[in-house]
Chain A
């Protein structure tokens, strides 16, 4: 492993750089195509309303993917990620306008484990709501 940060230098409580990611309807369409997840709740407002959702919502996996960057950009080599888990606590509602939604991600070194492994805890919020809960990544550092 050849990471930008080393196991020796990180300390528990060390915050990773905060990140914010805008998400527009166009991003959801592109993600649907790339991922193969064409569930209409992610692009069809009429369908979303029919199944009781406030509006089109982002793929949980899209939110999970963008939040991962708080970790992978910090370690440099995304191959360092050995575990990544989230709970989808609230949907990210993406309005049909130019700005869409904003997902804000904070991450902190939560635990140093054996074998150069470090646990990172993440939080992700959108429109004041926590959208990812119990979000954790385990990375192997140099």
Chain B
């Protein structure tokens, strides 16, 4: 059954504040095999003009994935999450995320489509500090693959 189009345009409440920590950035950088000093060494990050360690660009997904689960796992939407794969991802940055940031995400459903029997949903996660400074935006497209005929 196609997904409910009435979800398009719906925004969810801001997520609980996420405190970006140095060790979490280091853990994430290590997990992606990236030893860039801006992620690991506070002095190196400051020498580049950043206030503290910065996070790799794709670190934003650590915040936006659970934020997006508000939509993807909403039982009234009816998305089969067991058959979901990631279709597209785009990040735009006002500035890098850095250690010491306190961030929240507001998720909005931008688009719902049915393509060849697959359910396709695109959400936008606006990442901002708890003081209201915009930091980054994540556009995520998830594809729930139709069961094999």
Contact = CB atoms under 8 A, between A and B. Distances in A.
B82 A35 contact: no
A115 B33 CA distance: 31
Contacts of B145: 51-52
A123 interface: no
Contact of B93 (A59, A72, A82): A82
A64 B36 contact: no
B85 interface: yes
Contacts of B27: 34
Interface of B is mostly: mixed
Interface magnitude class on chain B: 35 or more
Q: How large is the interface on A (under 10, 10 to 19, 20 to 34, 35 or more residues)?
A: 35 or more
Given A36-B66, A78-B56, A88-B85, 12 more contacts: A1-B49, A27-B31, A34-B28, A35-B28, A36-B65, A65-B34, A68-B56, A72-B36, A77-B38, A78-B39, A78-B96, A85-B91
Interface of B: 27-28, 30-34, 36, 38-39, 48-50, 54, 56-58, 61-62, 65-66, 82-93, 95-96, 139, 145, 147-148
